[in-house]
């Protein structure tokens, strides 16, 4: 049997295979509210044959959005918009749905990528004052963020918990806390962005404190039988920054608090990063975290080939693989991988006629 198409239990969630649709920002929301684009985008990926569909980075506060066009979950209107999207997907797919909850910190208030992605300063249309652990901007010349005080920390922590309660009401099967890619929780973890002199800065224990407080708040707000996971950057790829040894320590602390899985990518915190991009370039980071924890580990990053994905899972480098750009390019990647390995995937009845003659057993007709 293919390792990639073997089942796996993550917390209380049963996954039919090891393929996850990674959260992918679409920059297509209006005032935090999902639009028909999200139904189209997420809906067709829910027919892909993967085991889990993850909703893109969803801001817990308006100022936590990367751009003005990001999805949010902070009030009844944003909750209702997600509810409409999820209801439409579930009418045609039983794929479990997870959501990634996020706060962009100092990397918020930017233009959408296809218009350059530059910071939009406060006072300009679609711009606002960002927040961070320390009043240090992401790039030189940007408007500096405001350093979060105790009241600000409590507001962010409570917003993560409230968004989690809303996700639970929506019937979302899993929550992922975004602690990677240079966004707010990663900013607390890295000594490059966290220069505080209180109990939230300095030592590794102190820098982990706020991200762990947020995780605890999310875990407490979500039903106990549904998993809460974490996305981390395994390294900043900058000398003196966050690195894999600190990531391993963070993973151990998360596991002790009931984290159900950890999703390992890298970078995003500092423009000085030098990333050795290539096929499976982040898999060694996932492998290093897996060596230090019993949690399922998700690997991501230029995973494009079927045998490549099979090797990652089959050798134990990671327990699951996540697809992002690969599945945008080929939304039926899991179908094709299953055909390659002689495995089966779920497919909608409307698509059964697409079954290739040479792969008559490709579709699981028992569901």
As annotated, the active-site residues are 183
Name residues whose C-beta falls within 8 Å of residue 182's C-beta, 6 or more positions apart in sequence.
105, 107, 138, 193, 233, 267, 268, 269, 270
Dihedral angle of Cα 186, 191, 197, 201, to the nearest 10 degrees:
40
Instruction: Give, in degrees to the nearest 5, the angle at Cα 288 between 293 and 311.
Output: 100
54 touches 48 (CB < 8 A): no
Residue 58 Ramachandran class (φ > 0 left, ψ -120 to 50 alpha, else beta): beta
Token code pair at residue 304? 């494009």
What DSSP element (H or E) covers 176?
Answer: strand 174-179
3-state secondary structure of 260: coil
Which alpha helices (DSSP H) does 229-342 contain, by range?
Answer: 244-256, 283-290, 306-314, 325-329, 333-341
What DSSP element (H or E) covers 174?
Answer: strand 174-179
Name residues whose C-beta falls within 8 Å of residue 170's C-beta, 6 or more positions apart in sequence.
79, 82, 83, 86
């Amino acid at each position: 049997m293919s390792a990639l198409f073997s089942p796996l239990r993550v917390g209380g969630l049963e996954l039919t295979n090891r393929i996850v649709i990674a959260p992918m920002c679409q920059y297509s929301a209006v005032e935090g509210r999902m639009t028909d684009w999200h139904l189209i985008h997420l809906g067709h990926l829910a027919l892909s044959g993967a085991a889990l569909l993850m909703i893109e980075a969803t801001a817990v506060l308006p100022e936590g959005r990367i751009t003005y066009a990001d999805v949010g979950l902070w009030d009844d209107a944003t909750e209702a918009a997600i509810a409409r999207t999820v209801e439409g997907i579930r009418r045609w797919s039983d794929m479990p749905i997870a959501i990634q909850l996020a706060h962009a910190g100092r990397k918020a208030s930017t233009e959408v990528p296809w218009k350059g992605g530059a910071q939009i300063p406060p006072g300009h249309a679609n711009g606002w004052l960002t927040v961070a652990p320390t009043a240090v901007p992401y790039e030189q010349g940007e408007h500096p963020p405001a350093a979060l005080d105790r009241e600000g920390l409590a507001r962010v922590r409570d917003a993560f918990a409230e968004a989690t309660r809303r996700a639970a009401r929506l019937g979302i099967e899993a929550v992922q806390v975004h602690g990677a890619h240079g966004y707010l929780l990663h900013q607390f973890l890295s000594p490059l962005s966290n220069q505080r002199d209180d109990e939230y800065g300095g030592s590794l224990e102190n820098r982990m404190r706020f991200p762990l407080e947020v995780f605890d708040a999310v875990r407490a707000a979500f039903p106990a039988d549904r998993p809460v996971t974490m996305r981390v950057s395994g390294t900043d790829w900058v000398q003196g920054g966050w690195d894999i040894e600190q990531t391993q320590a963070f993973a151990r602390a998360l596991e002790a608090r009931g984290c159900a899985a950890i999703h390992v990518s890298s970078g995003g915190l500092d423009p000085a990063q030098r990333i050795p991009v290539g096929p499976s370039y982040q898999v060694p980071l996932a492998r290093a975290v897996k060596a230090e924890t019993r949690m399922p580990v998700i690997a991501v990053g230029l995973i494009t080939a079927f045998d490549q994905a099979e090797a990652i899972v089959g050798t134990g480098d990671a327990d699951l693989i996540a697809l992002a750009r690969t599945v945008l390019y080929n939304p039926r990647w899991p179908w094709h991988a299953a055909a390659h390995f002689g495995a089966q995937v779920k497919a909608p009845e409307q698509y059964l006629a697409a079954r290739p003659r040479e792969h008559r057993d490709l579709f699981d007709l028992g569901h």
